[in-house]
Amino acid sequence: MALQAYLQVGLSFAEVGLFEQNKLKVHRRFYLPQEPLGTALKKFWQEHGLPQSLKVSSRFLEKILDAKLGGTVAQVVTAGFETWAILRQPVLPNRFDIKPYRQEPLASQELIFGLSERVDCNGHVLKSVDINELEFINSKLKLMGVKRVCVNLLFSHKNTTHQDQVAKYFLEQGFEVLAAPRSETSMDEMPAWRRNVINACLSGAFTEHIDDIKKSWGEASVELSFLGRTGEDVKDDKNHIAGSLFSWTTQLAHALRPQADQVLYLGLEKWSLISTQHYSEHWQSPWGLIEGRIPFTKQLDLQPTQEMNSGFWGGVHFSPNELGYEPGPMAFGRALKPTVFDVVNEKYKAPVSQIQPNGAQKFRDQLTAMIKNIPELHGQSVEKLVQSLIDHMVQMMSIECHFKAHKDSKKTILTGLYAPYFYELLKKKWLGSELILDPSSAEREVCSLAELAGGTL
Amino acid sequence: MSSFLQVTELSRLLTELLSPFESAALMNSEGQLLGIKYETITDIGTFGTCIQTAKKYFQIKEGDVVLSNDPYSGGTILSVMSLVTSFQIADQTFYLAFRTRFKPRMANSKRLEDEGIRIPPTPIASQRKINDAIIEAISSHPQAPAGMAPRFAERFQVLWRQIDLLKSWATKSPGLLHKNLQKEFLTETQDRISRKILDMRHGDQRFDLHFETGEVIRMRTEIRNDGIHFDFAGSSNSQRLFLTDAATYGTCMAGVLAFLGEDFLLNEGMYSLVTVTTPAGCFLNARYPAPLFEGVAEASSVLAAAVVQSLASITSSRSTGLNGAIPTILAYEFESGKIYFDGMAGGAGASSDAAGVDGYFLWSLNKLQPSIEEIERLYPLRLLQSGIRQASGGKGAFAGGNGVLRETEVHEDCTLKWLLGHRNTQIKGLKGATSGMASEITVLKPSGDKVSLTESRGEMRLQKGDRVIAASAGGGGFGKAAE
């Protein structure tokens, strides 16, 4: 019997589901720092059989963005605007501060080349591309060992001639070229330019990521689809890499649309409020807005790996600093800083196999020390403090969702690994729309993929 | 539940309430500002007066809205509209004020009225219904900003939604808006900032600041157990720049907030810890009908930087360069009535351990840079270059931020008005670093003739085909560069 597999890859965890006749046969979660994806998949196929097809949704490459490992990426821009992208980079922090700083760009500023071409806002060519200029840039790029070139020209969506011409030229010269088509209604060049740069920076890692997955079945034949922002297979088109980071929101929205107009997703790695009905034309990145239509998504201010430390108001708070799962929360046994995950695990014993008994004990010891050292916590028991913090999380999430929900929202579905723990508590606080629990919360990621492909549990 | 968690939750609730507005404030029934979301430094000192003035003249019932832009009634500059409404939760009356910004009119003005229409507190909505006749009457004034009616309609939808969301929350969870928790929230803010100030080195310092326009600020800063105090006795009267006392207060507070570097929702609890004395007659305590646009654009950013400098000097910490944040502002007024307003940030000054940021408005949280494509779509002009003005920041161990360089070709005859921050004086480098470059504007005629605009403000006619090359100032460096 033919098997279909669906794989959802996050930053530190991956989940795979194997389906037979559209029924889930086996579901497994991998912890990637301990078990690299390729190795884990290979073992999984050996145990359960190779699928005929594999659909992948991955935001694994966000890691590359976080680490700013862009590689050698050049940009060819309309002359006169070589440093424009830098001025459009966000400045932090978002308050008055005597030492503000501009977000570091992904790609090197030394590799931005001006091209004296110009198209106006109606698409008329004011100055044609000069082939001599292209040849000059080409020779410099080759000298510098550049492999990837982004073509970022003004008004390229009003008249694609120059973009196509420049892209074709550099393609013929052996470069990998990133020049994604722009939306006709686009009003701002920068989200489109940033998309090209992100695609270019992720390109090498994208190929490696796909190769890693392919190697897990060796010489065998498996039909692989790597899902983009709208669910299409994008493995052969690098102009869609950035969009593929959001395929998970599309899947959730698509799979849960029949049940609710809004999804409160409390997954293992990310907590978000996602509309199943409304879309935004851009997504917010640390480098500013990026062009790409995705379901309207608000990342909650409370996230599962946020650090717990002393806050402005005294006592403890959950700081915006996300620690991630490497080395993991204290409960995993190696980390030293308490997180939201640890608090939830202390109360509910999260179903994650990486939890170590000594890690959970370390967290309790840490809470005991906090109770002793922080005046606002004096006299509390560990149990009481944990309960207060859980209630606090619920209150903070409820306030945020209450204000950030779409104004027309009538029904919200709660899903993700943490959903069952928070459902009853959230229900008491929930306002405005009806809140229901997704019966498939724990396997939601893989179920969404399967449902997208017409399968069921 | 522990009270620090409830205080955090109240802070969150207020932050969410104010978040969709560019700047906004909520006042409780005791007349205390529970939360202020600010976008510019002048927002900080003016919201309290804005609400109190509206309350003084009108009994604002739930669903009523009072509009004003009068800087002498709690506004900032005439292009910024302040709107105040009220609502009831149980036995408490709250006042919510928010602001929406239109394009300012640049005028070499002697009177406030030259800068636009002055709207005293005026009721413009009742029972959540906009009085179209009043809006129409205001909009028909030749100096009224374009697009007021649709903007208000859109913003009011947001306003009513936010109020309804807060009320529905309060119905289900009344605890967070209980008067005792509000009191605790304000007291906690005061206590926590007070402790920060107690931990600082105490002392005082005098600081003189001379403007190109001739004004002199004489500022005495004192850090004491009971707070931070600024006294401007001895500051000059105005030659050209004016700030209201509320704007001066907000500017000093902004400098203090930047220096403290704490991330919290600003509220009344903080206000008692910062006092500002501005003598009558001094340009930092302007009286009607003094114009304010230039003072807000220029004096407030210099003053805020001076506040940071003086605090750094007293506490011997966190030194920062005087930033080049006085923007270079250009307005292209076309005969069709279209105005392209181009604010070009200067480079920020370097600090003792970091380089200054290129082209950055240090004292505004509105970080939106216009899109080239949008500008060209909306106005009869073409941008030929826009980017960093290379090597314009001061050199040093840490370099000052570079200014911005922009070249604009106009495609219809128009009037160019300009305001050049740092035309004749550079932003000084500190501790052995060099200064940033001064700002400059050159007009290039199609014939090849060049006109260098030497005045720090002025206006001239431009013909179709003229090009304007404008460069904002670079920030000063910090520390001597290594050999």
Measured between CA atoms, the residue of chain A closest to residue B15 is A400
How many angstroms separate the CA atoms of A186 and A192, rounded? Answer: 8
Report the mean per-residue pLDDT for chain A. 93
- Please tell me which residue, A73 or A445, carries the higher pLDDT value: A73
H or E segment and range at residue B65? strand B65-68
Select from B190, B377, B209 the least CA-distant residue to B271.
B190
Residue A298 contacts B where some CB pair is shorter than 8 Å: no
Residue A433: its pLDDT value, please?
Answer: 85
Q: Is the pLDDT of residue A457 over 60?
A: no
pLDDT at B365: 76
B51 contacts chain A (CB < 8 A): no
**Predicted local distance difference test score (pLDDT) of residue A454:** 58
Pick from B8, B354, B407: CB nearest A99: B354
The closest of A63, A67, A146 to A108, measured between CA atoms, is A146
The pLDDT score that the predictor gives to residue A444 is 86
| pLDDT of amino acid B240 | 86
Of A187, A101, A108, the C-alpha closest to A149 is: A108
**Strands A53-58 vs A223-226: parallel, antiparallel or unpaired:** parallel
Whole-number Å distance between alpha carbons of B420 and B472: 8
* Beta-carbon count within 10 A of A169 CB: 20
Residues 141-160 of A with CB under 8 A from B: 154-155
Nearest to B388 among A87, A380, A403 (CB): A87
Question: In Å, how far are A105, B227, B299, B352, B432 from B320, measured between CA atoms?
Answer: 24, 22, 18, 6, 13
Examine the pLDDT at B214 and tell me if it is beyond 60.
Answer: yes
Taken as a whole, chain A contains a residue count of: 457
Residue recorded with tokens 């500051």: B235
Mean pLDDT score of chain B, rounded to an integer? 92
Task: Name which of B3, B8, B307 to mutate to probe chain A: the one with the most chain A Cβ atoms within 10 A of its Cβ.
Answer: B8
* pLDDT higher than threshold 60 for residue B25: yes
Sort A376 into a burial class: Cβ within 10 Å, 0-12 / 13-18 / 19+. Answer: middle
> What is the tens place of the pLDDT at every residue in B308-335?
989 989 998 756 655 556 788 999 999 9
pLDDT in tens, B76-130: 999 999 999 999 999 999 999 999 999 888 777 788 988 999 999 999 999 999 9
Q: Say if A101 is an interface residue toward chain B (CB within 8 Å).
A: yes
Q: How many Å apart are CA A379 and CA A188, to the nearest integer?
A: 56
Could you tell me whether strands A53-58 and A3-9 are parallel, antiparallel, or unpaired per DSSP bridges?
Answer: parallel
CA distance A63 to A32: 12
At B41, which helix (H) or strand (E)? helix B41-57
Query: What percent of chain B is predicted at pLDDT more than 90?
Result: 77
User: Which residues of chain A neighbour B407 with C-beta distances below 8 Å?
Assistant: 80
For A108-249, strand residue ranges (E) read: 112-115, 118-119, 125-127, 148-152, 176-178, 223-226
E-assigned strands of A260-364?
262-266, 271-285, 288-299, 306-309, 317-322
Sheet containing strand A434-437, strands side by side: A288-299, A271-285, A262-266, A411-415, A434-437
Cα radius of gyration rounded to whole Å, chain B: 23
Assess whether pLDDT exceeds 90 at residue A109: no
Confidence of residue A456 (pLDDT cuts 50, 70, 90): very low
CB of A122 within 8 Å of a chain B CB? The answer is no
In whole angstroms, how large is the CA radius of gyration of chain A?
Answer: 24
Interface list for A 310-339 with B (CB within 8 A): 311-315, 317
Closest CA to B78 of B192, B218, B242: B242
CA nearest to A122 within chain B: B377
Cβ-contact A361, A300 below 8 angstroms: no
User: In a 3-state reduction of DSSP, which class is residue B376?
Assistant: helix
Name every chain B residue with its beta carbon within 8 A of the beta carbon of A87.
Answer: 358-359, 369, 386-388, 404
Indicate whether A85 pLDDT > 90: yes
Contact assessment for residue B332 and residue B408, using Cβ atoms and an 8 Å cutoff: yes
Is residue A69 very low, low, confident or very high in pLDDT (cuts 50, 70, 90)? Answer: low
Q: Are A404 and A413 in contact (CB under 8 A)?
A: no
Q: To the nearest whole percent, how much of chain A has pLDDT over 90?
A: 80
Which one of A77, A313, A401 makes the best mutation probe of the B interface by having the most chain B beta carbons within 10 Å?
A313
Task: Summarize the confidence of residues A327-350 as an average pLDDT.
Answer: 94
Over 60: is that where the pLDDT of B1 sits? no
Q: How far is B140 from chain A (nearest CA, A)?
A: 30
Say if the Cβ atoms of B308 and A83 lie within 8 Å. Answer: no
pLDDT interval class at A452 (50, 70, 90): low
Chain B contact for A81, CB < 8 A?
yes
- Give the single-character DSSP code of B320: B
Res B2: pLDDT: 67
Structure tokens at A105: 């760009």
B296 touching chain A per CB within 8 A: no
**Could you report the per-residue pLDDT of A355-378, keeping only the tens digit for each?**
999 999 999 999 999 999 999 999
Interval B142-156: pLDDT, tens: 989 989 999 999 999
- Structure tokens given for B47: 């919201």
Indicate yes or no: CB of B19 within 8 angstroms of CB of A315.
Answer: no
B383 CB neighbours in chain A (<8 A) are 80
User: What is the structure's pLDDT at B110?
Assistant: 83
The C-alpha atoms of residue A133 and residue B149 are separated, in whole angstroms, by: 50
Nearest-CA residue of chain A relative to B385?
A: A80
Give yes or no for a cis peptide into A93 (omega within 30° of 0): yes
**Chain B nearest CA to A152, separation (Å):** 13
Average pLDDT for residues A52-60, to the nearest whole number?
Answer: 95
Sign of the torsion formed by the C-alpha atoms of B302, B305, B311 and B314: negative
Give the residue on B whose Cα is nearest the Cα of A319: B263
Using CB atoms and an 8 Å cut-off, which of residues 212-241 of chain B contact chain A?
A: none
What would the mean pLDDT of A411-420 be, rounded to a whole number? 96
The CA–CA distances, whole Å, from A83 to A108, A118, A164, A202, B402 equal 11, 17, 23, 22, 12
What mean pLDDT is predicted for residues A96-119? 91
Name the residue type at position B331.
A
Q: Tell me whether A99 touches chain B (CB under 8 Å).
A: yes
Per residue in B251-292, pLDDT (tens digit) is 999 999 999 999 999 999 999 999 999 999 999 999 999 999
Any idea what DSSP says for residue B356? P
Tell me which residues of chain B, numbers 302 to 331, contact chain A at a CB-CB cutoff of 8 Å. 304, 308, 318, 320
Q: To the nearest whole angstrom, how far is the Cα of A330 from the nearest Cα of chain B?
A: 23
A351: confidence class by pLDDT, cuts 50, 70, 90:
confident
Q: What is the pLDDT of residue A131?
A: 97
Mean pLDDT over A75-95 rounds to 94
pLDDT digits over A207-247, tens only? 999 999 999 999 999 999 999 988 889 999 999 999 999 99
On the CB side of A72, how many CA atoms lie within 13 Å of its CA? 9
A332: confidence class by pLDDT, cuts 50, 70, 90: very high
Q: Does B386 touch chain A (CB under 8 A)?
A: yes
Distance from CA of B387 to the nearest CA of A (A): 5
| pLDDT of the residue at A213 | 97
Nearest Cα neighbor of B346 from B333, B331, B359, B330 is: B359
Measuring CA to CA, how many Å separate A121 from each of A126, A301, B331, B410?
10, 39, 21, 15
> Which of A96, A187, A287, A396 is most worth mutating to test chain B (most B CB atoms within 10 A of its CB)?
A96
| Interface size between A and B, measured as CB pairs under 8 A | 157
Look at residue B213 in the predicted model and tell me its pLDDT. Answer: 83
B401-433 pLDDT tens trace: 999 999 999 999 999 999 887 766 777 888 899
Burial tier of A1 (Cβ tally within 10 Å: 0-12, 13-18, 19+): exposed
Q: Answer yes or no: do B172 and A429 touch at CB < 8 A.
A: yes
Residue B4 tokens, joined: 């620090």
Whether B173 contacts B165, CB under 8 Å? no
Is the CB of residue A190 less than 8 Å away from at least one CB of chain B?
yes
C-alpha distance from A241 to closest chain B C-alpha (Å): 25
Residues of chain B contacting residue A90, judged by C-beta atoms under 8 Å apart? 367
Q: How far is CA B307 from CA B245, B303, B311, B429, in A?
A: 15, 6, 6, 17
Per-residue pLDDT tens for A27-47? 999 999 999 999 999 999 999
CB-facing half-sphere around the CA of B95: CA atoms within 13 A: 27
